[in-house]
Amino acid sequence: MIGILVQLILSAALLWFLQKKSLMVLCGGGMKQQSTDFFGFFLLTLLISSSQYFFRMIWAMERWVVNPKVSIALIAEGTWWNIKSVLFEELIFRGALFYILIVRLGIKWAILLSSISFGVYHWFSHGVLGQPIPMIVEFLTTGIMGVVYALGYTKTGSLLTPIGIHLGWNIVGSVLFSGKLIGDQLLVEVQPVPNVQVSYFIYFVIIYLPLLAAIGVNAWILLKRPTFSFNT
């Protein structure tokens, strides 16, 4: 939490010294609209992200059950971990620096630079640096997702929109369906994991279709909206 507070202080300082603006430039639109966008995009992306696990249950014969040690405190801790993680990344890549890029270079260049930086950042955060194929895949998937997050801000003027999309995607693979990052959460996979061979097409559907759907559906909705008017 201290890290987030430091980010907010630095963001406020950058905005004031470079643009004479406050953090409110990250909160465009009324609170009702911001809340609607946050929850709407969060739930939409959560449902799309969950489809990967339903595909895995259908074709990879995986079984998931409720964690016998689950508790409200455990889920709250996992959710809070995700919120801090998403806030950290959004404040860096779609926060004050992104707003300044929009003002100085224009929206298209701002989105391009933000998304490239987001893709490169994940080489380090996901530990694939030095592995050419994983680096390409990571750069393309996270970079294109970064475009969607950036559109979320440029179309609504609110950082809550990309936060909602980002959190909806991340929370599925860590809290709803337990992942390796934070341990067992709501649902845990039944062991041993079945050894099932699937075709390349089915593998693509399981791994990449949900991601492409999240990118495509969110981008389609956002692109139908007019670009937010940044009073620069």
Please report the DSSP string for 85-110 in residue order. HHHHHHHHHSSHHHHHHHHHH-HHHH
Domain limits for position 135: 2-223
In whole angstroms, what is the distance from residue 178 CA to residue 184 CA?
5
d(CA 82, CA 206): 23
Asked if residue 228 belongs to a domain, the reply is no
Q: In this structure, is residue 173 part of a structural domain?
A: yes
Residue 1 pLDDT level (bands cut at 50, 70, 90): confident
Alpha-carbon distance values, 113 to 13, 79, 93, 99, 131 (Å): 21, 29, 9, 12, 23
Asked, for residue 106, whether it belongs to a domain, the answer is yes
Q: How confident is the model at residue 109 (pLDDT cuts 50, 70, 90)?
A: very high
Asked whether residue 15 is domain-assigned, the answer is yes
How far apart (Å, rounded) are the C-alpha atoms in residues 90 and 189? 30
User: What count of other Cβ atoms lies within 10 Å of the Cβ of residue 14?
Assistant: 16
The answer to pTM > 0.85 is: yes
Q: What does the DSSP 8-state code read for residue 180? A: S
Q: How far apart are CA 151 and CA 203, in angstroms?
A: 29
In a domain, 161, yes or no: yes
What does the pLDDT look like over 173-191, one tens digit per residue?
Answer: 999 999 888 999 999 999 9
| Number of independent structural domains in the chain | 1
Cβ–Cβ under 8 Å, residues 51 and 213: yes
231 lies in a domain? no
Is the pLDDT assigned to residue 63 strictly greater than 90? yes
Q: Classify residue 229: in a domain, yes or no.
A: no
Is residue 214 one of the residues assigned to a domain? yes
Terminal-to-terminal C-alpha distance of the chain: 31
Distance of CA 226 to the CA centre of its chain: 22
The pLDDT confidence band at residue 28, using thresholds 50, 70 and 90, is confident
Percent of the chain scored above 70 by pLDDT? Answer: 99
